[in-house]
Amino acid sequence: MTLTEVCRNLRGLAPQDRAWILARLSSAAKMKLARGLGADGPLYESTATAKAMRLLDARDAAQVLAALQGEPSWVVYAVWSAASWTWSSKVFRGLPAYTRLDVQALDRDRTVVSPAVSQFLVRVLAERVVTTAEPAHIAPLARLWRLASRFAT
């Protein structure tokens, strides 16, 4: 069975079955699966993440760029590479040159972002984009991730 077939079969399982299988895999096997998934997205995503992805994808590039303003390159890459966004190329072109170079390097190196990190950042960014608050009043995603990781089990 090819890696593509394995990924397709895993996606077809019920969430609890997928979680049971993934919990028993080694870190190396999980990394291999993540690489095999490429642009197709994570193996599993919560309903909240799926909703956030739809909301985020429906926004225009200017809104997404404004929400990503000031974020470190790895955060931009994690969100940008999480899906095949409708605004992907426009957002990429709108990034500062140094961020574009960093994102390109991460992409060229096939950097794997864990599904948990990617899903968390997508949910927070979607909330940021749909809120009426000014982006300056919202904590940067990297800082939110550090805070959330303190409470991870």
Predicted pLDDT at 2:
74
Cβ 56 vs Cβ 128: under 8 Å: no
102 and 137 inside one domain: yes
64 and 35 inside one domain: no
3 and 38 inside one domain: yes
Report the C-alpha gap between 56 and 128 in whole angstroms: 10
Please compute the mean of the pLDDT values over residues 38-64 and round it to a whole number: 74
CA separation (Å) from 58 to 63, 65, 80?
10, 14, 14
67 and 139 inside one domain: yes
121 and 59 inside one domain: yes
Which structural domain, as residue segments, surrounds residue 95? Answer: 45-150
Cβ 129 vs Cβ 67: under 8 Å: yes
Q: How many CB atoms lie within 10 A of CB 6?
A: 15
39 and 49 inside one domain: no
**What pTM was computed for the model?**
0.59
Report the C-alpha gap between 128 and 141 in whole angstroms: 10
89 and 22 inside one domain: no
Please compute the mean of the pLDDT values over residues 28-43 and round it to a whole number: 60
**Cβ neighbourhood burial of 61 (10 Å; 0-12, 13-18, 19+):** middle
Split at pLDDT 50, 70, 90, the class of 132 is very low
